[in-house]
């Protein structure tokens, strides 16, 4: 006991000393984080702005359900985990086509039951396929099963000109979800900050649909803060539009002239609210933040394929962040010297 205590003191003294020279390690160690599961790189689409280089040419592989549940359990009680899980891809709904059975509902239920919030991102391409019936049913079943989690589980749809058929697909999804009886489904509509007109046009299209009745409303988060929403059909669906996303030049978006260039992309891993994104992917990596530039990352897989404990992953991410900071300082020093 005494030995452990003194070892942890020595570790703290060492970390604090190194943080004075390389502060980025302390940022990674001490800040709150959200966990993202990039469950696959396969996707129906091949969007020009895709920072994941996803598409139908990528392997039809999914992060194993057991691995995702393992990390949900590992972080659920960590005081630094900000209680937000993001389920994304590629297109996670492709699991209904060639992934494990019940992959999405099983993972969503496990995450919701951990007490955290769940944000599932989808491009909606499935709404034009025979998968639509089952996916809509699963969303409605989950909404009915977890009524207390109305502000903790949301579906995110992209409203922009990059995703093919985004307006038509999202319209159809909202129409279907709005038929939900005895359940409420929170839908985040996400748009880019230079396409606010696209969002306005989409909301106007919904408002003009005689089958949908839209009224402004407010829902409370568990922390007591209110979220302004648009209630559709007596609150069967609650829409939360935002058009503040920025396009940055990662993945295929590097080819777009309006994509924002980030000078040190590897350090832009913090969100506006001061949390860090920790993203697991199907290739076996855990990466901090956006998928561009040199990565601050490590692996979640042991050589035998089993998942590594999260505490070891975090230690490696801190090391990787410190290494990148040293490297970046050397590059900056060289630039100054050459000038």
When the beta carbons of 63 and 180 are compared against ligand SF4, the nearer one is: 63
- Among the listed ranges 89-97, 138-146, 225-233, 289-297, the one in contact with ligand SF4 (CB under 6 A) is 89-97
Residue 163 binds ligand SF4 (CB under 6 A): yes
Query: E-strand spans in the chain?
Result: 33-38, 81-88, 117-122, 153-158, 185-192, 214-220, 226-232, 237-245, 276-281, 285-288, 297-299
Binding marks (x or -) toward ligand SF4, 122..141, rule CB under 6 A?
Answer: -x------------------
- Among the listed ranges 3-11, 48-56, 137-145, 224-232, the one in contact with ligand SF4 (CB under 6 A) is 48-56
Query: E-strand spans in 94-181?
Result: 117-122, 153-158
Compute the distance between CA of residue 338 and CA of residue 318 in angstroms, rounded to an integer.
Answer: 30
Choosing from 25, 89, 250, 293, the residue that interacts with ligand SF4 (CB under 6 A) is 89
Say how many residues touch ligand SF4, by CB under 6 A. Answer: 13
Cβ 32 to ligand SF4 shortest distance, Å: 26
Compute the distance between CA of residue 154 and CA of residue 339 in angstroms, rounded to an integer.
Answer: 51
When the beta carbons of 62 and 267 are compared against ligand SF4, the nearer one is: 62
Residue 54 binds ligand SF4 (CB under 6 A): yes
- Among the listed ranges 32-40, 44-52, 196-204, 231-239, the one in contact with ligand SF4 (CB under 6 A) is 44-52
Compute the distance between CA of residue 293 and CA of residue 270 in angstroms, rounded to an integer.
Answer: 15
Q: Tokens for 32?
A: 């709150």
- Give, as one character, the DSSP assignment of residue 270: B
- Among the listed ranges 15-23, 50-58, 266-274, 302-310, the one in contact with ligand SF4 (CB under 6 A) is 50-58
Task: Establish how many alpha carbons lie within 13 A of residue 129's alpha carbon, considering only the half-sphere containing its beta carbon.
Answer: 12
191 by DSSP, 3-state: which?
Answer: strand
Contact 205, 232 (CB under 8 A): no
Compute the distance between CA of residue 133 and CA of residue 178 in angstroms, rounded to an integer.
Answer: 14
Residue 46 binds ligand SF4 (CB under 6 A): yes
- Among the listed ranges 85-93, 187-195, 226-234, 278-286, the one in contact with ligand SF4 (CB under 6 A) is 85-93
Residue 45 binds ligand SF4 (CB under 6 A): yes
When the beta carbons of 32 and 97 are compared against ligand SF4, the nearer one is: 97
Query: E-strand spans in 160-259?
Result: 185-192, 214-220, 226-232, 237-245
- Among the listed ranges 42-50, 72-80, 186-194, 214-222, the one in contact with ligand SF4 (CB under 6 A) is 42-50
Choosing from 28, 38, 90, 322, the residue that interacts with ligand SF4 (CB under 6 A) is 90
Compute the distance between CA of residue 184 and CA of residue 236 in angstroms, rounded to an integer.
Answer: 5
Choosing from 26, 55, 64, 105, the residue that interacts with ligand SF4 (CB under 6 A) is 55
Q: Which of residues 258-317 bind ligand SF4 (CB under 6 A)?
A: none
Residue 52 binds ligand SF4 (CB under 6 A): yes
Compute the distance between CA of residue 86 and CA of residue 34 in angstroms, rounded to an integer.
Answer: 8
Binding residues for ligand SF4, per CB under 6 A?
43, 45-47, 50, 52, 54-55, 89-91, 123, 163
């Amino acid at each position: 006991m005494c030995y452990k205590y003194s070892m942890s003191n020595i570790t703290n003294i060492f970390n604090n000393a190194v943080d004075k020279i390389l502060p980025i390690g302390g940022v990674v160690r001490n800040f709150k984080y959200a966990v993202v599961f990039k469950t696959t790189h396969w996707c129906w689409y091949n969007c020009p702005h895709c920072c994941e280089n996803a598409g139908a040419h990528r392997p039809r592989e999914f992060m194993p359900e057991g691995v995702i549940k393992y990390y949900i359990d590992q972080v659920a009680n960590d005081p630094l985990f900000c209680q937000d899980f993001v389920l994304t891809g590629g297109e996670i709904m492709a699991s209904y086509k060639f992934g494990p059975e019940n992959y999405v509902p099983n993972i969503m239920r496990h995450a919701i039951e951990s007490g955290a919030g769940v944000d599932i991102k989808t491009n909606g391409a499935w709404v034009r396929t025979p998968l639509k019936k089952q996916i809509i049913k699963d969303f409605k079943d989950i909404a009915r099963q977890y009524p207390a989690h109305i502000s903790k589980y949301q579906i995110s749809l992209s409203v922009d000109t990059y995703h093919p058929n985004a307006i038509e697909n999202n319209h159809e999804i909202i129409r279907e979800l709005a038929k939900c009886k005895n359940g409420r489904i929170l839908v985040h509509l996400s748009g880019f900050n230079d396409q606010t007109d696209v969002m306005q046009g989409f909301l106007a299209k919904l408002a003009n649909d005689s089958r949908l009745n839209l009224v402004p409303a407010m829902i409370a988060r568990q922390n007591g803060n209110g979220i302004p929403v648009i209630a559709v059909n007596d609150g069967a669906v609650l829409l939360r539009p935002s058009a503040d996303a920025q396009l940055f030049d990662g993945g295929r978006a590097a080819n777009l002239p309006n994509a924002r260039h980030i000078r040190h992309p590897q350090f832009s891993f913090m969100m506006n609210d001061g949390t860090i994104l920790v993203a697991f992917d199907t290739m076996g990596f855990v990466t901090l933040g956006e998928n561009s530039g040199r990565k601050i990352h490590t692996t979640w897989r042991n050589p035998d394929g089993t998942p590594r404990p999260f505490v070891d992953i975090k230690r490696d991410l801190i090391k990787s962040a410190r290494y990148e900071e040293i490297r970046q300082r050397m590059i900056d020093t060289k630039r100054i010297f050459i000038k």
